[in-house]
Structure 1
Amino acid sequence: MSFVQVIEFETTHEQDVQRAMDDWRDATENERSVTHTTLTRDHSRPNHYVAIVEFPSYEEAMRNSDMPETSALATRMRDLCDGPLRFVDLDVIRDEDL
């Protein structure tokens, strides 16, 4: 069963967040278990963002979370965000292309 993590945060430093995500992507190229990411910005609240991160399984998400590069990204994100990040862990029970 695939697994999705949703991360919500507020920031006025979008470009720095994007750079941090790019740095993480480059540093984990052959190690990460993330299969897909989507970064969104709330249309009516332009400083509110939602990142959607997909994994093959919960276990792979936990392996990815334990990587030093992921810990470094989390630290950078906490520094760039206005307030705490909110994490929602979701088991995918239905997924279809329409």
Structure 2
Amino acid sequence: MSFIQVIEFESTHEEDVQRLMDEWRDTTGNERTATHTTLTRDHTRPGHYVAIVQFPSYEEAVRNSKLPKTDEMSRRMQELCDSPPRFVDLDVIRDEDL
């Protein structure tokens, strides 16, 4: 069963967030267990973002979280946020293309 983590946050530093995400992607290479990520910006609330990160399983998400580069990214990301990010952990129970 795949697993999705949703990270909701407020920031006035979109370009810095994008650069940080690129850096994490480029430095984690074969170590990371995330398989897909989507960053969204709320159309009606400027500065409100939602990141959606997909993993093969909850266990792989935990393993990814324990990577030193992920820990570093998390600390740096919190500095770019205007308030603490909100995390939602979701087990995928249905997934279909429409």
Q: TM-score range by the shorter chain?
A: over 0.9
Instruction: Please give the alpha-carbon distance, in whole angstroms, between the structure 1 residues aligned to 2:30 and 2:66.
Output: 15
CA-CA distance at 1:43 after TM superposition: 0.2
Structure 2: gaps of 5 or more residues: none
Instruction: Please give the alpha-carbon distance, in whole angstroms, between the structure 2 residues aligned to 1:58 and 1:77.
Output: 22
Q: Which residue of 2 aligns with 1:42?
A: 42
The TM-score normalised by the length of structure 2 is 0.99
Q: Which residue of 1 aligns with 2:62?
A: 62
Instruction: Please give the alpha-carbon distance, in whole angstroms, between the structure 1 residues aligned to 2:52 and 2:78.
Output: 17
Count matched residues.
98
CA-CA distance at 1:30 after TM superposition: 1.1
CA-CA distance at 1:75 after TM superposition: 0.5
Correspondence 1:9 to 2:24: no
Instruction: Please give the alpha-carbon distance, in whole angstroms, between the structure 2 residues aligned to 1:63 and 1:46.
Output: 33
Q: Which residue of 2 aligns with 1:23?
A: 23
Q: Which residue of 2 aligns with 1:92?
A: 92
Structure 1: gaps of 5 or more residues: none
> Which portions of structure 1, spanning 4 or more consecutive aligned residues, are displaced by more than 6 angstroms?
none
CA-CA distance at 1:54 after TM superposition: 0.1
Counterpart of 1:47 in structure 2: which amino acid? G
Task: Give the SS at the match of 2:8.
Answer: strand
Instruction: Please give the alpha-carbon distance, in whole angstroms, between the structure 1 residues aligned to 2:65 and 2:53.
Output: 12
Counterpart of 2:71 in structure 1: which amino acid? S
CA-CA distance at 1:46 after TM superposition: 1.4
CA-CA distance at 1:82 after TM superposition: 0.1
CA-CA distance at 1:74 after TM superposition: 0.4
Q: Which residue of 1 aligns with 2:83?
A: 83
Counterpart of 2:73 in structure 1: which amino acid? L
